[in-house]
Each structure stands twice: as structure tokens, then as C-alpha cells.
Homo-oligomer: A and B are copies of this chain.
């Protein structure tokens, strides 16, 4: 509630009536702040630890833009990033990951206020959280201060912030010891005030103790004036920025164009043309290699493309070869080295994406390690952050690393997530199509006009380029790649590395005189958004003989194969062995498709 009250006082578009609708249907004041609902809310928070990692992303974005665009005689970007965190945030592993990176990157303009009230939902932090947080942040390379009395010592707070600003090579943590529920005579310093209202009597007692004579939702004029001064400072800063931007634009028109694309989200015209096309004559490759080609094709034409891997760059194939590493001595570069910190990586990407609409951050890891960053990915989807998740090593096809590294249920898991596009391309053209769709959606180029993140799922192993795959077909989510428009006896559906099995099976069945259609389904969500006429033209409702093949869980496929169909997949954990052996042992084969097709037609 406090955040909404502050936004109201500072003149954001949030009236007293809005505040009264706290946590009600259609309100601008939901239970946890949502960036897409409320003016002035920069990121959606609620799940603990996401906010500090978002802040690291925002501070990194600021450092990047400043280093890339500011000129000695024309400064565009120059601001601090503030973040308020609690005990819970500091217990979550994601916050340590993010803070470790912030320290490594030396993000001197990131200032975090740690509300050390020593109360969480279970009670006093004594029962589970007795580490020395300040010493930990020092070990992570932060500048650390302590304001002992956060309830009264405003001068101390001001001084600490001034000092934090003066330290330019380290992020700053200001531990502020406070009393939770300050002013409440009976509930202060207890978990009773953590998530529940004070109640009528205690509210009255608190008003009395604080000597607060105003009614509910009555704001004294003084308060408006005090906060109005803050708003005025903001307006002045904005005016100064606009003036500086004008100067910059006239002095550095080329740089301005790139900067403006990032700030406005307007992508340079014709960016899609950079994506290459492939024919069967082009060497068959793993889609992770095609992914690298696409990133390196897009990087020079999309100014806001920035990102990297969680210590798997040589496996994920995610380095943009024309750029160097984003490091404390080279913030202008665009390859980010996240270390083995998947969860923070996702949330940092969310911060970058929400910093400016033209940023399209990408992150990368093995698909299995999406398990480490699930909440950050969901927050991308929920908060409409256009992040591209590059996920390689997408199935048992990765082979020897074994079941701890082999995704099974992961495609199902992300297909079920609202507002997340899950794509699994089958060759070069489809990889290009997936990137085209991912960039468009990261840029809100879709029917709803909202940004959507994408999870792009790539193989470790190679497969051939097909003559019938296309960017256009891929962007429709599913399309016919074999058998043409003629009404088939059976439809075989496949994604990714199993597309060749589907086509081979079709050819075998055709040898037996059957009419077979193969449908490639790289993105279910995009297919579901197509007009019914298109969907029915690809999957005619009266063709009930259907087979699907995918080296992952069959969970969810029954929607497409229907009552008479057969879903081929793997509903158990994988094993450690060469990839081709695993395909045989788990029955992900052309022969299995042929047998299933016969069964489904019978």
C-alpha cells in the first residue's frame, strides 16, 4: 500500500479513490505492484529476491547506455538505481547471485536500502536468519553502510545516500535498521503487521501514539506540498533531459538513431531481412548453431539486442562475435557473462527489458536449467518483459550427460505458462522463423500489442535442412511441410529434431499407398492464435488418424492427436548414453511413427 500512497503523493495518475480500491477487481492498486497496471511502477515484484535482481539489470542497462552513448560534450544517460529490499529478499539465493554479479560488474550507481526489521512471516529472523548480511555484501564487493535508527534518523539516511553516491566503483548497500509497524503500540516489532491490516482498534491506538489527527484517506496539504516539491524536481530533470537529448540528436545523429531505437522500441526498418534462409544443400546443423547464426545476424541491426549465457556460452553458442564482454571496464559491450547464476540472469534480463522498450535481452543455458530460473521466466511473461530465452540441449538427444541434464517435461511446462511463447524449430529456416517471431513479440508486434517473452529450444545434435520449411510457416506456429493440401489418411505432427523422423515415416507409409501429411508444430501458442480456417486447413477436424512425435513428455499432445491418435514421446527420465542409442531405447524412431500411424488408421 505504501508504494501506492507515495505514487499518489508525488502526482502520478493514482487518486484517493484508486487507493480505496486496494486489492479489488480492476484496481490500479493490486496486492503486489504490477508494472503493466500502474503508472510509476517499473517492475512487477512480489516473489522475493526478484526486485534486487531486476535492479541489477536496470543499473546494468543504465551503465551500458551511458558508456555506449554519452559523449564528453553531450550526456544522455546519468541516473542512480534505487532498490529497497527486506530480510526475505536477502534469504533468497537469487539475491546473492544478483548481488555477486553487481559487485563483479562494479555497478557504482546502484543503491540498495536493506530494511533490516528482523521480522518475517514465521516470526523473528533469529529462528532462521542469523548470518552477517553486511559482511556478506562486503565479500561480494559492495560498499556497505548501516543506519542504526531508520525510524528517526533522516539525517543519517541522507548522509548515507550521499556517501553511497560518492563511491562510484561499487554498488552500495545501506542497511537500515527499523521497527516494523512503527507507531503501533501493540503490534510493532511483530509478524502480525507483516501481511495483515492493523485492525480498527489498533489503528486508532496507532493514530493516537503517532499524534496523527487526520481521517482515513485524508492527506494534509503540507504532505502534498512536500511531495509536490519532489515531483517538481522530477519535472525539471525531465525537461533538462529533453533539452540534452535535442542537443545530442543534432550533434550525433547516427548515435541518436541507435539510442532512440532503444528508448522508443522502434526497430530499424527491414531488420527481418538480416535472417538467412536455408536449402537442403546447406549443411545440416544443430539448431543451437543456427541460433548462433541468427543472433549474429540480428546483433548488428537491432541496437537493443544484448545478452549472454550462464557460463555455457561455448555450448549455448550465444556470443555475438562483433562485440566484446560487458565488464566494469567495458560497459558499452553487449555480451554479458552471467556466471552460473540462471535465476538472477532471468531477473536481470527482466530489468533490462523493462528499462526501455527497445532492449531485447537474451539469456542462455541448458534447457534443463530452466528449472533454476522458473520464477524469473514467469515474471517475464507476467510483467510483459520481452526477453528471449535461448535454451539448448533440449532432449535426450544430448546424450551422455544423462538424466539430470535431459529435459522431459520442460516443453509441457512452458507451453502451459500464460503469455510465454515456446518454440522448438526443426532446421535453419525454422530457427530463423522462431527468432523473427521472438523479436516481434519481444517488441509487442502482435495482435494484443503486448510484449511476450519466448523460450527458444534448440538441439545439441544436427539435423538436415528441409526444402519445405519456412520463416512464414514457422511464424504461424504450425504448417504443412510434407504431403501438400490433399486430404491425408493420416497426419503426423512433430517438432524440432523429430521432424526428420516424421518425414521418413511419411515416405514409408506412402510406399504402402497411404496419403500422409506431416505438420511441423514449432510453436503451439502461435498456432492457436491463427484463424480457425487456417487451423482447420492444417489439421482437418475430420482426419482422426494422427500421430505426434517429440523427444519429450507426451503431456499436452492429446489436444492435437485426439481420441484416435497416438502421441509418441518420453514419459520417464532419460539415461546416460550416446544420443542415438537413447532415441532407439526410448522408442523415438521412424518405425515407432509408422507403427503408430497404422494403429491410428486402423
Q: Taking the complex as formed, is A296 at the interface, i.e. its CB lies under 8 A from any CB of chain B?
A: no
CA separation between A88 and B100, bound complex, in Å? 13
Q: Taking the complex as formed, is A256 at the interface, i.e. its CB lies under 8 A from any CB of chain B?
A: no
Q: Of B48, B405, B415, which one neighbours A32 at CB under 8 angstroms?
A: B405
CB-CB under 8 A for A327 and B403, given A340-B91, A416-B413? no
Q: Taking the complex as formed, is A217 at the interface, i.e. its CB lies under 8 A from any CB of chain B?
A: no
Q: Which residue of B lies closest to A90 (CB)?
A: B340
- Per-position 1/0 for A8-30, Cβ under 8 A of B: 00000000000000011111001
Q: Taking the complex as formed, is A417 at the interface, i.e. its CB lies under 8 A from any CB of chain B?
A: yes
CB-CB under 8 A for A371 and B374, given A34-B403, A311-B120, A340-B88? yes
Q: Of B23, B191, B403, which one neighbours A400 at CB under 8 angstroms?
A: B23
Q: Is the CB of B91 within 8 A of A339?
A: yes
Q: Is the CB of A30 within 8 A of B402?
A: yes
Q: Taking the complex as formed, is A72 at the interface, i.e. its CB lies under 8 A from any CB of chain B?
A: no
Return chain B residues, CB-CB under 8 Å to A400: 23, 31
Return chain B residues, CB-CB under 8 Å to A26: 577
Q: Which residue among A91, A325, A327 has the maximum number of chain B CB atoms within 10 Å of its CB?
A: A91
Q: Which residue of B lies closest to A344 (CB)?
A: B93
Within 8 A of B (CB), among A101-139: 101, 103-104, 120-122, 125, 127-136, 138-139
Residues of A within 8 A of B (CB): 23-27, 30-32, 34, 44-48, 87-88, 91-97, 100-101, 103-104, 120-122, 125, 127-136, 138-141, 191, 309, 311-315, 325, 327, 337-344, 368-369, 371-372, 374-375, 378-379, 381-382, 399-405, 408-409, 412-413, 415-419, 544, 553, 555-556, 558-559, 562-563, 571-573, 575-578, 581-582, 585
| 14 extra interface residue pairs, beta carbon distance < 8 Å, beyond A30-B575, A46-B404, A128-B338 | A23-B578, A34-B576, A47-B405, A92-B342, A92-B372, A93-B94, A101-B128, A121-B312, A122-B312, A128-B311, A132-B139, A135-B135, A136-B139, A409-B413
25 A-B residue pairings within 8 Å (CB atoms)? A23-B402, A24-B581, A26-B577, A46-B405, A47-B368, A92-B97, A92-B340, A92-B341, A94-B372, A101-B128, A104-B129, A121-B314, A122-B311, A128-B337, A131-B139, A131-B141, A134-B139, A135-B135, A343-B372, A369-B375, A408-B416, A415-B555, A418-B573, A556-B556, A563-B563
